Amino acid sequence: MRKISAANVVTAKDRDMVRWAAAGLVLLVLGAVPTVARAQDQKVIVSHGISTFGALKYPADFKHLDYVNPDAPKGGEMAQWAFGTFDSLNRLSVKGNSAGSGATPLETILVGTADEIGSSYCLMCETMEYPEDRSWVIFNLRKDVKFSDGSPMTAEDVKFSYDIVSTKGIAEFRTVFTEQFQSVEVLDPYKIKFTFAPGIPYRDLPATAGSLSVFSKADYEANNRDLEESSLEPLLATGPYVLGDMTVGQKLVWKRNPDYWGNSHPLNVGQNNFDTIRFEYFADSDAAFEGFKAGIYTFRNENSSKQWATGYDFEAIQKGYAIKEEIPNGLMASGQAFLFNMRKDKFKDPKVREAIALMFNFEWSNKTLFYDLYARINSIWDNTQMAAVGPASAGEAAILQPLVDEGLLPASIITDPPVMAPTSDPESQLTRANLRAASALLDQAGWAVGTDGMRRNAAGEVLAVEFLESNPAFERVINPYVENLKALGIDAKLTMVDPAQMSDRADPPKFDFDIISGGAVNSYEPGSEMEQAYSSKTVDNSTRNRAGVSHPAVDKLLEVVKAADTREELDVATQALDRVLRSIRFWVPEWYKNTYTVAYYDIFGRPEAPPASALGEASLWWYDADKAAKLKAAGVLQ
């Protein structure tokens, strides 16, 4: 059972907001094989893309991505569901409850592909230029890129988008751009230069600059838009889809723009195949499932293990009109976890956090509630070579020892294995050994058991813990956890709120929660974006640092991660960071599974060899008109 949210129902790739690329992965194929020129006595690379480590997979003259069907037909609709509601289509604002697909019209200068890690290719540029040290980058923009109203996209729009995002909207964008970018210059109408701040690692910054979402300056100014405010009118952008039908809070339809500038782009071949992409919003997951059974929408990424194990015996499945399928998922574990709000005084002592973590019985939950479909998460980078294991390696020790010498970390961080999720008895909801261990930890932390059986500190305050949750499907998971905490003497409770209340309470500036279910931020090539989740600079302003991580050793390790020059260095630095973050115990790790559990009406086609790291249902799949005609004739679909 995965955490259900509008974001992860809509797309499995929407994990990295700074490096986010709009739906439909694309790659520029104009230009030539990377060349090297001399400019002002500095070697300058001119290329159609950039890779963090090693060479780009795709040359400049290839015809299409390896994993698409270049002959995929266009037409039809992909209809999915999203949890909750929405009152805004502005995902760059902290206000309002934005639709999970609200960034669909937005495109970025560079994009990645689903079959390689750490590569970014020109989408809205013909070529990019950068020196070997990557201290600046110039994007030579394409002259055929148009906004959806037909107006040209120029360097002025890129500069304007940077200026707005750097001063308004989501705080973590401002952190990345304002502290790491020295200047942005328009060199001519189709040439723009980003120069990075001196004295910082430049490895990721050309790609970070290319990840900027671009919108129209003229439209923004003419319509008096404000990135700080929620809005039901999308920013005017360049993407393949524009807003179609909408019922606020209930339904959202994106329609394919027939005049999209990139329709004939070689790397759009086989993508953006649906005429419309529709999202039906449900406030309750059970109601959403009934909607699927009734054919209200046609594709479902199942997040409930109970539903997957017991619910798919309805007529459409029995008669073969709908298909239930497990598709391999090669992604790293999601990092899903219960997150402590470490800003709260009661959670300052790690012994308290460790005691609370001991009372979550994953093994019993997996057996009783999840039908043994899941595995426990231990590392922030589970399922990758970046996960810390065993005592620190020599490479990790070399990074960690100076932090030990400074008194920022205990010596045991090097000699001991990394913190693992506690294990529990699968046969009993309450594991007595864990209860005893947790009780001892709370005693040591000064939370003694009173005559009424409640844990109190020296001031007589009861240790109270509130789980804040907006997804009804999580009630059956959290309620047993609450009962276990009560057995420990903690005044624990679950408070259910609607998605709007969840956003209002869990996001900055309020951070008004004790524990929420969320996710530890990870990526395949950790870099400056990790600061959004774990840096002291973002502890009070980032939606990605809800746990309130602020630790001097972590801050220094983030700099080591950013400065890594090779894949091996990055792996070792990330292992050290993983080891230290786990020792902080800012989370209670939850679970993951290595398959997509999906169900869909038999009206789609999909590539024979899709990438393991992307499901791609909204961009790589296509509508099969012949299959759909059969289902319509049978009265299954409208």
| pLDDT for residue 238 is more than 70 | yes
Cα 85 to Cα 82, 296, 503, 540: the distances in Å are 8, 17, 11, 26
| The pLDDT value given to residue 31 | 31
Q: 3-state class of 536 per DSSP?
A: helix
Q: How confident is the model at residue 30 (pLDDT cuts 50, 70, 90)?
A: very low
Pick the closest to residue 400 from 387, 409, 391 (CA basis): 409
pLDDT for res 584: 97
Please give the pLDDT value at position 176. Answer: 67
Angstrom distance (rounded) from CA 222 to CA 227: 14
Specify whether the CB–CB gap between 331 and 611 falls below 8 A. Answer: no
* pLDDT per residue as tens digits for the range 593-602: 888 999 999 9
Asked if residue 27 has pLDDT above 60, the reply is: no
Please provide the DSSP assignment of 34-74 as one string.
Answer: -EEEEETTEEEEEESEEESSS--SS-TT--S-TTS-TTPPP
Q: Which residue spans of the chain are classified as CATH 3.40.190.10?
A: 13-63+105-222
Please name every residue paired with 251 in a beta bridge, in sequence order, or none if there are none: 247, 280
Q: What is the architecture, at CATH level 2, of domain 336-592? A: Roll (3.10)
Mean pLDDT calculated for residue range 394-410: 98
Beta bridge partners of 439: none
**181: enclosing H helix or E strand:** strand 181-188
Residue 580 pLDDT > 90:
yes
Start-end of CATH 3.10.105.10 domains in the chain: 336-592
Averaged pLDDT score across all residues of the chain:
90
> Does 363 have pLDDT greater than 80?
yes
Q: What's the token pair of residue 41?
A: 């006595």
Across-strand partners of 242? 255
CA-to-CA dists, residue 15 to 23, 256, 555, 587, angstroms: 13, 24, 22, 18
- Residue 94 binned pLDDT confidence (cut-offs 50, 70, 90): confident
- pLDDT, tens digit, for every residue of 445-466? 999 999 999 999 999 999 999 9
The arithmetic mean of pLDDT across residues 79-96, rounded, is 86
47 close to 246: Cβ distance less than 8 angstroms: no
* pLDDT at residue 494 in the model: 98
| Contact in structure between 201 and 574 (CB atoms under 8 Å) | no
Q: Give the list of residues 6+ apart from residue 80 with CB closer than 8 angstroms, or none.
A: 9, 10, 277, 278, 279, 280, 297, 298, 299, 300, 301, 617, 618
Interval 504-532 mean pLDDT? 93
CB neighbour class for 22 (10 Å; exposed up to 12, middle 13-18, buried from 19): buried
pLDDT of residue 540: 92
Confidence of residue 98 (pLDDT cuts 50, 70, 90): confident
pLDDT at 408 over 90: yes
Q: Would you say 621 and 615 are in contact if contact means Cβ atoms under 8 Å apart?
A: no
Examine the pLDDT at 261 and tell me if it is beyond 90. Answer: yes
Q: Identify the pLDDT of residue 5.
A: 31
Confidence of residue 407 (pLDDT cuts 50, 70, 90): very high
**Model pLDDT for residues 147-156, shown as the tens digit of each residue:** 999 999 999 9
13-63+105-222 belongs to CATH 3.40.190.10: yes
Whether residue 175 has pLDDT greater than 70 = no
Confidence at residue 6, expressed as pLDDT on a 0 to 100 scale: 29
Helix (H, G, I), strand (E, B) or coil at 588: strand
Which pairing describes strands 276-282 and 77-83: parallel, antiparallel, or unpaired? Answer: parallel
pLDDT, mean of residues 399-413: 98
Q: What is the pLDDT of residues 279-317, one digit of tens each?
A: 999 988 899 999 999 999 999 999 888 899 999 999 999
